[in-house]
Chain A
Amino acid sequence: MAISAQTFDGVSEGQEFTLEEATDSQRLVIWAAASGDFYQIHYDDKFASNNKLPDIIVHGALKGMWVGKILDQIAGRDGWVKEWDVAYRAMDIAREPITVFAKVTGKREENGEKLVDFEVGTRKADGSVTTPGTGTVRLP
């Protein structure tokens, strides 16, 4: 379910927003078409196995764009995603659910803009964060 758009006064430091994302092979194939990344480790079991991978893996860029999506939902139509930056620190095996999170780390006003900073990333079921990063949105 989508997160409703937030306001600057309505969010507080430490507040965390989350989205659950499925990582089935069909979704990875749709992402391959959307992004043009047709590297076979993301959809070809045999190719992944030949590259010493336990299974096909989730595209790093897809995880990065899920982070963009959660920030966009927080910003809503009246806000703006200023930037986000993620590192792909570990692989996520496909067919396992991923939690995308954005946790408020600070609020500030700069050049007339009301900005909220976040710790962002994707989390596995065991709690480990494979795609840590930061993000900033402007909120009304």
Chain B
Amino acid sequence: MADEVMELTDEMKAAIGKSGEPTTYEVTSLGIRTFCRAVGYEDGIYFDDEEAKKAGHKSIIAPPGYLGMPVWNPNGPARRADFFKSPFTRNLNGGTAVEPLEHVYAGDVLEAVTTLTSVEILPSKAYGQLMVRKTETAYKRQSDGKVVAKTRGTSLSY
């Protein structure tokens, strides 16, 4: 928790409505299967190629909400630049909304663009002050240009 009372800066206010650089997400069969294992999916269309093909799919499909992993490159640019400099150092995930629009397949490559939709600094009984940032991310499949899903996130900083 920051010691002094923080208010929204001009930089923070100006960042609302801005979008970040696109981030590339790979959807791999290993990634889908690991997600299924963690969340506990049991339907074979999500991890068994034959089962998926019998159901009319070209390969295993990603369960709703799985949109791959950002391509990791320690020598590349930072994965996600912050929209502004935050005085708070600790972060919590405040919430998630998912809107699946198309099936996502193993082998898909998605381009995600995140837009900052709001930022507030609110009083908090637990932390003194809490910064609430809301974002919306659109995931577009590179092969056909379709937006396959949208997500909305709330991050809390204190």
B is a partner of A: yes
Binding site for B on A (CB under 8 A): 2, 21, 27, 30-31, 33-36, 51, 59-62, 64-66, 68-69, 71-73, 77, 80-88, 133
Given the complex, which residues of A lie within 8 Å of B65, measured CB to CB?
Answer: 64-65, 68
Closest B residue to A33 by beta carbon equals B34
At the interface, yes or no: B83 with Cβ under 8 Å from chain A? Answer: no
The tally of residues in B whose CB lies under 8 Å from a CB in A reads: 30
At the interface, yes or no: B97 with Cβ under 8 Å from chain A? Answer: yes
Given the complex, which residues of A lie within 8 Å of B37, measured CB to CB?
Answer: 30, 34
Whole-angstrom distance from the CB of A132 to the nearest CB of chain B?
A: 9
At the interface, yes or no: B40 with Cβ under 8 Å from chain A? Answer: yes
Are A77 and B39 in contact (CB-based, < 8 A)?
A: no
Binding site for A on B (CB under 8 A): 31, 34-35, 37-43, 45, 55, 63-66, 69-70, 90, 92-100, 152, 154
Are B95 and A86 in contact (CB-based, < 8 A)?
A: yes
Q: Can you name 15 A-B residue pairings with CB atoms under 8 Å? A: A2-B43, A31-B39, A34-B37, A34-B38, A59-B93, A60-B95, A65-B66, A68-B64, A69-B39, A69-B40, A73-B43, A83-B97, A84-B97, A85-B96, A88-B96
The A-B contact count (CB < 8 A) is 91
Given the complex, which residues of A lie within 8 Å of B90, measured CB to CB?
Answer: 51
Closest A residue to B91 by beta carbon equals A39
Kindly state the separation between the CA atoms of A72 and B103 in the bound complex, as whole angstroms: 13
Given the complex, which residues of B lie within 8 Å of A65, measured CB to CB?
Answer: 35, 38-39, 63, 65-66
Kindly state the separation between the CA atoms of A68 and B63 in the bound complex, as whole angstroms: 8
Kindly state the separation between the CA atoms of A86 and B40 in the bound complex, as whole angstroms: 19
Q: Contacting B97 at CB < 8 Å: which of A60, A69, A72, A86? A: A86
